[in-house]
Chains A and B, each alone.
Chain A
Amino acid sequence: MAGLELLSDQGYRLDGRKATELRKVQARMGVFAQADGSAYLEQGNTKALAVVYGPHEMRGSRSRALHDRAVINCQYSMATFSTAERKRRPHGDRKSTEMSLHLKQTFEAAVMTQLFPRSQIDIYVKILQSDGGNYSVCVNAATLAVIDAGIPMRDYVCACTVGFVDETPLADLCYAEESGGVSSLALALLPRGGQIALVQMDARLHQDHLETLIEAAMTACKSVSKVLDEVVRQHLQEASVLSRE
C-alpha cells in the first residue's frame, strides 16, 4: 500500500483543508487567577496551557541575574496523556529541553527585557494534547499569557509550521502530515515589523524552495496574529465590562 496522500489533485489535504488554510484556532486568556498571566490555546487537536510569573526578583542563584535586562526562564513539558501512547517522562528529556531553549530564544527576542533589569520572567508551557506543531502552539499560547501578565512586548510573537509537499507549502501541519515524511520548518514572527524571532528546520530542503517556504510561513503567522489579536481584544472587552461593574 502506498503511504498517505498528503495533498490530493483537487488541492485538499488529509483533513480537508486547503494548502494555505490553518487549523481552527481557539483561545482563552486569564484561565488561572494565581498566576500573573495565563492562557489556553487550541490549534486543531493540539492543545496547550501557558502560565507566566513575573517579572519578579531572581530566585535561586542570584548570580544568574543580568544587570541590564530580565532573565527569561522557560519550561516546556508534555502531559503524560497528551499522545496516543502514554508518555513516560513529561519533562526534562532532550526534546523538551531543546524546546524550552527555543521558546526562551523566541521570547528573548520579543519581550522588552531591558525594562526589568536584574529580574526574572518565568514562562511555563504544557502540551495537554499533541497533534503536530507543538512548538508553534506553545509560542502562540505563551504570547497570550505574556500579554495577560501585562509584560510589554515589541509585538505579538506568532509561530507556525509549514511543510513542503509536491512543490507546495502546506501551512500548520497536523501530526499525520508531520510524520508523513514532510520536510517541515517552524517559524516565529513578529508580524508587524516582519522580523523573524526564530526559524528552525531539521530536514533537508533545497535552497531554491527555502524562500517560498519562509514566505508561506510568514503569511501563516500573520493570519495567526489576526486571530490572537481578536482574542486579546475580546478578553480586554470582557475584562473592562467586568471592572466597570
Chain B
Amino acid sequence: MLKSKTFVKKTRSGGVLKVVREHYLRDDIWCGSEVCTECKQDSTVLQRDACIESSLCPYPHYLVPDTNVVLHQIDVLEDPVIRNVIILQTVLQEVRHRSAPVYKRLKDIIHEQGRHFYTFTNEHHRETFIEREPGESANDQNDRAIRVAVKWYSQHLKTPESGPDGLKVVLLTNDQGNKLKAEETGVVVYKFDEYIKSLIGNPELVDCLALSNDDKNEITSSKVLFPEHLPLSKVQAGIKSGSFLQGTFRASRDNYLEATVFVQGEGEDSTEVLIQGLQNLNRAVHQDVVAVQLLPKNQWVAPSSVVLQDDGAAKDDNVDEDEEEKVLTGALTETARRATGKVVGIIKRNWRPFCGMLNVSQIKESTRHLFTPADRRIPRIRIETRQASTLAGQRIMVAIDGWPKDSRYPNGHFVRSLGAAGEKDTEEEVLLLEHDVPHQAFSQAVLSFLPKMPWSITPEDMAQRQDLRHLTVCSVDPPGCTDIDDALHCRELENGKLEVGVHIADVSHFIRPGNALDKEAANRGTTVYLCGKRIDMVPELLSSNLCSLRSNVERFAFSCIWEMNHKAEILKTRFTKSVINSKASLTYAEAQMRIDDANKNDDITESLRGLNKLAKILKKKRIENGALTLSSLEVRFHMDSETHDPIDLQTKELMETNSMVEEFMLLANISVAQKIYEEFPESALLRKHPAPPPSNYDILIKAAKSKNVMIHTDSAKALADSLDGAKVDGFQYFNTLLRILATRCMMQAVYFCSGMDSDFHHYGLASPIYTHFTSPIRRYADIIVHRLLAVAIGADGTYPDLMDKHKQSALCNNLNYRHKMSQYAQRSSVAFHTQLFFKTRGILNEKGFVLFVRKNAIIVLIPKFGLEGTVFFDSKDKASPNLVFDEEGPTLKVEQHTFHIFDQVKVTISLDDSNIQHQKIRMALIEPVIPGVSVPAPEAEPQAKKRKLDR
C-alpha cells in the first residue's frame, strides 16, 4: 500500500539548491462520504443528503472551493448554511502559505462537527496526484490538481442507482480560465458569486460576498485618485538599497489626513515617519505594514495638532481635495519639522472585520452605502447591501476587500449585525470585539473539565495538604466581590514572633495543564471587568464557587506563611498547599471599622490589627527603598438594580485596609518570585517594570516648574521624594494632580520569562524581582506561577511546556496583549457608562483642573467624576479666537487669558449625541470668562431635577 515516487524541486536560498524529497502515494486515503461503499473508512464526514437549496444545483451536492475562493470569501464559508464542503490539501496548503488568519478560520470551520467540512489529502492519493508538466507554473499546477481531484470525486461517487439527480461534486472558482478548463473535463463548475446568488433560502449571504476583481470597475469612477502601489519585488529592492523604509502604518486618531509610520530600526534605534495628505497616505490602513519613501527635506512638515475628522457624509468620490489639504498647512517652524514621507507600497495588509455603523445613502434605491468604523483610525468603507434600511441604526461588522486606486474609499462587504446602536448589550459587544476580548460562553469541551458537583474534599486531598482550618483566616475585598482569591491571617507564636499567612485560591488544582479548560484560560489571559459585567477567565463554577475563598466553607489554598518579628522582618518563609476555612469575608470598610472599634477584641479583629500594624511598617520600608505612590482616578458606578443603568458616580476611596491587603500581596509576590527564580532560573514567569526614558518626564518637570516645584527624576527614590515634597499652599489637589501626571510618564509593566531577559527590575515597586501570584482566579500568569511554585516545593509534577522558555515567552506575549486590551476595554466601558450617566443628567457645571494644554484646546480633569475632557477653542461654525501656543510653558493664550497646566477652571458637562456612533462628553468653559469663548453658566435646574429623580 505504499508507493514511492520522488520528484525534484529547485528552491532558491541564496543560491540555487536542488531539493530532493520523497513523495509517497497512498491507496488508503478515503473520500469521507456517506454514499461511498468502496472506501473502508471508519467515520464519514460528508452527508448523504447534502442539500443546500440552490436554483443552480437542485440535486444534492458537495462543494469544492478553490484557493482564491477560500481566501476571499471566507466570510461566506463561515456561514452555517454552507455545509458539506471538501477542502483539498492543495487548497489548504496554499491558504496556509498565503494568509495565516484565513487559514486559522478555515481550520476552525473544519473542526466544527456540524459543518461537515472534509479535508481530502489529494496530493498523496494515488489517483489524484499529478506531476508538474514542463512549462507549467505552480499556480497552474495547483489549479489542475484541484480539477483532477474534483473529477476523481465525481466519478468516485457516481453510483449506478444515483441517476442524473444523484450526488454531484461542484467546483467553485472565481477564475474564468480555470472554469473553462474544468468545463472541458466535464466537471460541474460555477462561479462562486453565481452559486451564492442562486441560494434560494438564504439571500442575505449575498451581502457577505467579497467583491471580486471584475466587479470593481462598476462601482468607481474612472478618475484615478491614488498613485499605483509598487510591486513587491520593487519594494523589497528599494528597502534593501535603503531608498524605502519598512514600517507599521499608524493612522492618527485625531486627523484622518495624517499618519505615522513606525520604522523599527536595529535595537533601540527606531524612527517615525510622518505622512500627510490623502495622496501620500495612498490607501494604507491602520496597522498595515508599508513601504515609505522619504520626501526631500524642503517638503518636510510638522505634525499638525489640529483635530480633523472625515465628515464628508454627503461627499462622494469627487471631493475637492485641495480644500481638505488646505487645513493641514499651518505655519511651519524649522524645529517642528519631522521626517515626512509617502507610502509607495503595501507589504502586508492587516485588515480585520471592523465594527461600526452604516451611513445610509441619500438615494433610496441605492445598494451602495458608506460604513463608518467605530475606530476613528480606520477609513470609511463602501459596501453593497440590500438590507440598508434594516441595518441603519445598527452596529454591524464589515470586512475590507480591497482599495482600488480610483476609489476614494475601500470596498468591503457586510459580515454580520451586532444589534441596535446605543443599546447597552450591543455597545458592550462592540467594545469587546474592538478590543479583541474573547467573550463567548465557555464551550462544552471546556466545561467538561470542571469538577463534578456536588464537590467535596476527599481524604486523599487532605493527606496531600496541610490542614490550616483551625487558623483565623479572613478575606478583605471590595464590596460585591464574588471571586475572592486571597485571604490573610496573623497570630502570635509561643516564641513571641508573629506568624503571617497569605492564602491564595488554589486554582491550579482544578485547572490541569494542557486540557481544554487550561487552553481557554491561557487564551483569555485575564478576567475583564467592565462596569456591571465581568468576562470571566475561568467558568463561574470555579471563579465564584470552588476557588473563591468564601467564609465558613472549606477551600483549597496555596499558602505562603512567614514568621516575622515585630519589626516586620522576615525570619522564615514557607510555602504549602493547604485547606483553609475562612472565618469572615469582609469589605475594606468593614475591616476598617473592626480595626478602629476599640470595643471589639475577637480573634478576627486581633488578627486584622496585627496585619495592619505590620503592613504600615512594610509600607514605610518599601517607600524608603524608593517605591512610587502613584495616583489615577478610578470611578465606581452605582447601578440601578433593575435597569442596570448607572445612577450615581463616585471616585473610589482608598482606606488603610486597602493598603494593608496590598502590602501583603506584594510581599507574597516578591517571596514567590525569589523562590521560583531560584528553582527555575531559565523558565520562571516574572513581571518587570522598566524605568522610563528620562524624556518621558519632560512634561511632568515642566508642569511642576510652572508652580515653582522641582521634580528630580534621576531615580525612583528621588522621584518619590520630590513627589512627596511637592506642595503648593492653598492648592490641596496639586499633589494628586502631579501624581496623575507622573503615572502617565510610566512604562507598562510586562510579564516575561526569566530565561529570555536579563533586566528583572520593577521600577514602580522598587523591587529587584517581582511576579504575580495572588490572583489566579482572574489572571493566567498567576496560575503558571502557582504551578512553578508547586513543582518547586514538590507538591506537583512538571510538564513540558512549563519548562520550555520559548513557549513560556510566547505565553507572556499573549498575556501582555490581553492585559493591555482588557485595560482599554475597561476604560471604554467606563467612558460608555459615563455617557449613559450624563445622558440622564442634562447639563452640569463642575470645577476642574487643566491637565494638559494643546494647540487648540485644553484638557480638563473633573476630580468629582474622575472624568477627563477636552475644551476646544476653535470650532468650524465660529471664527476661532486668537490663540497663542507656547511650547515652553506649555501655555495657551486665548484672547486675553493664558491657560497654564493646573489652572482651576469651571466647565459645563453635557452629552453630545449628534453622532450616534461617537457619542461623547462635551465640555465648555464657564470660568474664567473669556468673551466669545466661554458659555454662560446653565441654571441650576438640572441639579434640582437630579435630586428629584433620586428620590
What is the 8 Å Cβ interface bit string for chain B, positions 784-826, against chain A (1 contact, 0 not)? Answer: 0000000000000111100110000000000000000000000
Considering only residues 618-639 of chain B, those with a C-beta below 8 Å from chain A are none
Say which residue of B17, B18, B24 sits within 8 Å of A16 (CB atoms).
B24
Is A21 in contact with B803, judged by CB distance below 8 angstroms? no
Q: Are A45 and B798 in contact (CB under 8 A)?
A: no
In the complex the two chains form, what is the Cα distance from A15 to B803 in whole Å?
31
Known: A45-B6, A206-B803. A8 touches B23 (CB 8 A): no
CB neighbours (8 Å) of A2 from chain B are 96-97, 100
How many chain A residues sit at the interface, stated as a range, is 20 to 34
Which residues in A have their C-beta under 8 angstroms from that of B798?
Answer: 206, 208
Interface string of B1-43 (1 = CB under 8 A from A): 0101010000000000111111111100000000000000000
Question: Is A44 in contact with B22, judged by CB distance below 8 angstroms?
Answer: yes
- Cβ of A17: which chain B residues have Cβ within 8 Å of it? 24
Contact flags B583-608 to A (C-beta < 8 A → 1, else 0): 00000000000000000000000000
The answer to whether A10 touches B119, judged by C-beta atoms less than 8 angstroms apart, is yes
Interface string of A1-13 (1 = CB under 8 A from B): 1100100111010
**Closest residue of A by beta carbon distance from B13:** A84
Q: Which residues of A contact B23 (CB under 8 A)?
A: 15-16
Q: Does A85 contact B (CB under 8 A)?
A: yes
Which of B26, B89, B804 is the one whose CB lies under 8 Å from A8?
A: B89
Are B26 and A16 within 8 A (Cβ)? yes
Q: How far is the CB of B24 from chain A (nearest CB, A)?
A: 4
Among residues of A, the one whose C-beta sits closest to the C-beta of B25 is A16
Question: CA separation between A207 and B93, bound complex, in Å?
Answer: 33
CB <8 Å contact, A15 and B21: yes
* Pairs across A and B, CB under 8 Å, 6 listed: A2-B100, A16-B26, A84-B19, A131-B20, A174-B22, A209-B800
Smallest beta-carbon distance B575→chain A, Å:
23
When the two chains form the complex, which single residue of B17, B20, B97 contacts A1, counting CB atoms closer than 8 Å? B97
With both chains docked as a complex, state the minimum distance between the C-beta of B97 and any C-beta of chain A, in angstroms.
6
Does A233 belong to the interface (CB within 8 Å)?
no
Beta-carbon contact of B21 and A84 below 8 Å: no
Interchain nearest-CB distance for A28 vs B (Å): 17
Q: Which residue of A lies closest to B124 (CB)?
A: A16
Bound: A15/B129 CA distance, A: 13
Which of these, A5, A24, A174, contacts B4 with CB under 8 Å? A24
Chain B: residues with CB nearer than 8 A to chain A?
2, 4, 6, 17-26, 89, 93, 96-97, 100, 107, 110, 119, 121, 123-124, 797-800, 803-804
Report yes or no: B18 in contact with A84, Cβ–Cβ below 8 A.
Answer: yes
CA distance A116 to B660 in the complex (A): 81
Q: Does A23 contact B (CB under 8 A)?
A: yes
Interface centre among B24, B121, B797 (most CB of A within 10 A): B24
In the complex, which of the residues B22, B97, B121 contacts A10, with contact meaning CB atoms closer than 8 Å?
Answer: B121
| A35, CB-defined interface residue at 8 Å | no
**A205 closest partner in B (C-beta):** B800
Contacts of B803 in A (CB 8 A): 206
In the bound complex, how far is the Cα of B20 from the Cα of A85, in angstroms? Answer: 12
Cα of A131 to Cα of B21 in the assembled complex, Å: 8
**Is the C-beta of A14 less than 8 angstroms from some C-beta in chain B?**
yes
Residues in B with CB closer than 8 Å to A14 are: 21
Residue of B nearest to A175 (CB): B21
Q: A9-B119, A85-B17 are in contact. Are A206 and B799 (CB under 8 A)?
A: yes
Residues of chain A with a CB closer than 8 A to B21's CB: 14-15, 45, 174, 176
In the complex, how many angstroms separate the beta carbon of B16 from the nearest chain A beta carbon?
Answer: 10
Would you give the shortest CB distance from A33 to chain B, in whole angstroms?
30
Given the complex, which residues of B lie within 8 Å of A24, measured CB to CB? 2, 4
Chain B residues within an 8 Å CB radius of A206: 798-800, 803-804
Expressed in whole angstroms, the minimum distance between the Cβ of B807 and any Cβ of chain A is 11
Known: A10-B121, A24-B4. A45 touches B17 (CB 8 A): no
Of A16, A17, A174, the most chain B CB neighbours within 10 A belong to A16
Q: In the complex, are the beta carbons of A23 and B110 less than 8 A apart?
A: no
> Shortest CB–CB separation between residue B120 and chain A, in angstroms?
9
Kindly state the separation between the CA atoms of A10 and B118 in the bound complex, as whole angstroms. Answer: 10
Tell me whether B121 and A5 are in contact (CB under 8 A): no
Q: Which residues on the A side are within 8 Å of B20 (C-beta)?
A: 45, 84, 131
- Which residues of B lie under 8 Å from residue A45 when comparing CB positions? 6, 20-22
| Distance in angstroms between the alpha carbons of A200 and B312 in the assembled complex | 69
**By CB atoms of chain B within 10 A, which of A2, A12, A23, A174 has the most?**
A12
A23 to B803, CA, bound (A): 33
The distance in angstroms between the C-alpha atoms of A5 and B107, with both chains bound, is: 13
Chain A residues whose CB sits within 8 angstroms of the CB of B107 once the complex forms: 9
Question: Given the complex, which residues of A lie within 8 Å of B797, measured CB to CB?
Answer: 208
Q: In the complex, what residues of A have CB within 8 A of residue B6's CB?
A: 45
| 5 interchain residue pairs of minimum CB distance | A206-B800, A16-B124, A16-B24, A15-B22, A24-B4
Chain A residue at minimal CB-CB distance from B123:
A16
A204 partner residues in chain B, CB cutoff 8 A? 804
A144 → chain B closest CB, angstroms: 21
In contact, A84 and B17 (Cβ under 8 angstroms) = yes
A17 to B5: give the CA distance in the assembly, Å: 12
Q: For the complex, give the distance between the alpha carbons of A50 and B121 in Å.
A: 38
In the assembled complex, how far is the CB of residue A135 from the closest CB belonging to chain B, in whole angstroms?
19
Q: Beyond the given A1-B97, A16-B26, A45-B6, could you list 17 further A-B residue pairs with CB under 8 A, ordered by the A residue number?
A: A2-B96, A2-B100, A5-B96, A8-B89, A8-B121, A9-B119, A12-B121, A15-B23, A16-B23, A16-B24, A16-B25, A17-B24, A24-B4, A44-B22, A45-B20, A84-B19, A206-B804
Closest chain B CB from A80 CB (angstroms):
15
Most interface-central of A15, A24, A131 (chain B CB within 10 A) = A15
Smallest Cβ distance from A180 to chain B, in angstroms? 12
* Distance, CA A209 to CA B804, complexed state (A): 13
Minimum Cβ distance to chain A for residue B6 (Å):
7
Assembled-state Cα–Cα distance A9/B97 (Å) = 16
* CB-contact partner of B800 in A21, A84, A208, under 8 A: A208
A15 touches B18 (CB 8 A): no
Tell me the nearest residue of chain B to A209, going by C-beta: B800
Q: Are A15 and B24 in contact (CB under 8 A)?
A: yes
Q: A16 vs B804: C-alpha distance in the bound complex, in angstroms?
A: 30
Point out the residues of chain A lying under 8 angstroms from B19, CB to CB: 84
Q: In the complex, A14 Cα to B20 Cα: how many Å?
A: 13
Q: How close is A42's CB to chain B, nearest CB, in angstroms? A: 10
Specify which chain A residues have a CB less than 8 angstroms from the CB of B2 in the assembled complex.
Answer: 21, 24
- Least CB separation from A1: chain B residue: B97
Q: Which of A39-92 contact B (CB under 8 A)?
A: 44-45, 84-85
Q: Which chain B residues lie closer than 8 Å to A174 at the CB level?
A: 21-22
B-chain residues with CB within 8 Å of residue A44 when the two chains form the complex: 4, 22
Nearest CB in chain B to that of A85: its residue? B17
Task: Output the least CB separation between A138 and chain B (Å).
Answer: 19
Give Cα A208–Cα B802 distance, bound, in whole angstroms. 12
- Are A23 and B96 neighbours in the complex by a CB distance under 8 Å? no
Q: Please indicate the chain B residues that have their CB under 8 angstroms from the CB of A15 in the complex.
A: 21-24
Q: Which residue on chain B has the smallest CB distance to residue A15?
A: B22
Closest residue of chain B to A84 (Cβ to Cβ) is B17
> In the assembly, what is the distance between CA of A5 and CA of B103, in Å?
12
Q: A residues 183-230 with Cβ under 8 Å of B?
A: 204-206, 208-209
CA distance A16 to B5 in the complex (A): 11
On whether the beta carbons of B22 and A23 are closer than 8 Å, the reply is yes
- Give Cα distance in the complex from A83 to B185, angstroms: 42
Distance in angstroms from B518 CB to nearest chain A CB is 14
In the bound complex, CA of A192 to CA of B107 (Å): 44
- Docked pose: A5 CA to B22 CA in angstroms: 16
CB distance from B691 to the nearest CB of A (A): 33
Docked Cα-Cα span, A169 to B383, in Å, equals 49
Contacting pair A12 B800 (CB below 8 A): no
Give chain B residues whose Cβ lies under 8 Å from the Cβ of A12. 121, 124
A9 interface neighbour in B18, B26, B110, B804, Cβ under 8 Å: B110
| Mask of A21-38 contacts with B, CB within 8 angstroms, 1/0 | 101100000000000000
Q: Which residues of B contact A5 (CB under 8 A)?
A: 93, 96
Find chain B residues with CB under 8 A from A10 CB. Answer: 89, 119, 121
Give the CA-CA distance A2 to B107 in the complex, in Å.
15
Q: Which residues of A contact B93 (CB under 8 A)?
A: 5
User: In angstroms, how far is the closest chain B Cβ from the Cβ of A151?
Assistant: 32
